[in-house]
Chains A and B, each alone.
Chain A
Amino acid sequence: AQSVTQLDSHVSVSEGTPVLLRCNYSSSYSPSLFWYVQHPNKGLQLLLKYTSAATLVKGINGFEAEFKKSETSFHLTKPSAHMSDAAEYFCVVSVTTNDMRFGAGTRLTVKP
């Protein structure tokens, strides 16, 4: 079985400063890992995914994440936050298509 823990329920940053959203995972097999973003009243949008290729994954809107097997982590980062980045972010672990486990989410607030 697999699970994911998002270490912060809420992160607040100032516009133009770096973003770090933390995610730890647990999996008995080699997992696929995803980050999704959910803007208010919008569907979940895939930011990036790791599927056993390069450990540093680049996604949309300047986000990237690094898979660290030794630390069982898949933290999401962005060098400079934009007001439009304010949203809910979900880390997801999956071994098979019908077993995607979502974290509880991290709400990102961006202050002007």
Chain B
Amino acid sequence: EAGVAQSPRYKIIEKRQSVAFWCNPISGHATLYWYQQILGQGPKLLIQFQNNGVVDDSQLPKDRFSAERLKGVDSTLKIQPAKLEDSAVYLCASSPRDRVSYNEQFFGPGTRLTVL
């Protein structure tokens, strides 16, 4: 079974530029998550999709971050404009069930973003 795919793996941009990350979850997984992992910290949930609808985006800085999952499969996360404090690894994860009680997540390798 193929795992969660993410691209690019690394990205370096200057502050105030925009950037987009892509995630393709495991086939058939209904739920998709984006996490932000700042160096030295555990991952923090940014947004959760169930199929193509948003379940939770309470931790997403909506003034600069946006995410979509239009067809209920792959997803993009965008930052515009980027700030220095956005430097982090952005992890995508997917979960095979759509019931909130089932909570095993499978993670992709992440995208390491450096904002200069």
Q: Please report A residues at the B interface, Cβ cutoff 8 Å.
A: 32, 34, 36, 41-46, 49, 90, 92, 94, 96-100, 102-105
18 A-B pairs with CB atoms under 8 Å apart are A43-B3, A43-B91, A44-B93, A44-B107, A49-B104, A90-B42, A92-B42, A96-B100, A97-B31, A97-B48, A97-B100, A98-B33, A98-B45, A99-B56, A100-B105, A102-B43, A104-B42, A105-B40
Kindly identify which residue among A44, A49, A103 contacts B91, using a CB–CB cutoff of 8 Å. Answer: A44
Chain A binding surface SS class: strand
Q: Of the candidates B41, B102, B103, which one forms a contact with A104 in the assembled complex, judged by CB atoms under 8 Å apart? A: B41
Cβ-closest chain A residue relative to B9:
A41
B95 within 8 A of A: yes
Contact A103 B42 (CB under 8 A): yes
The interface residues of chain B lying within 8 Å CB-to-CB of A102 are 42-44
Find out whether the CB atom of B100 lies under 8 angstroms from the CB atom of A45: no
CA separation between A41 and B107, bound complex, in Å? Answer: 12
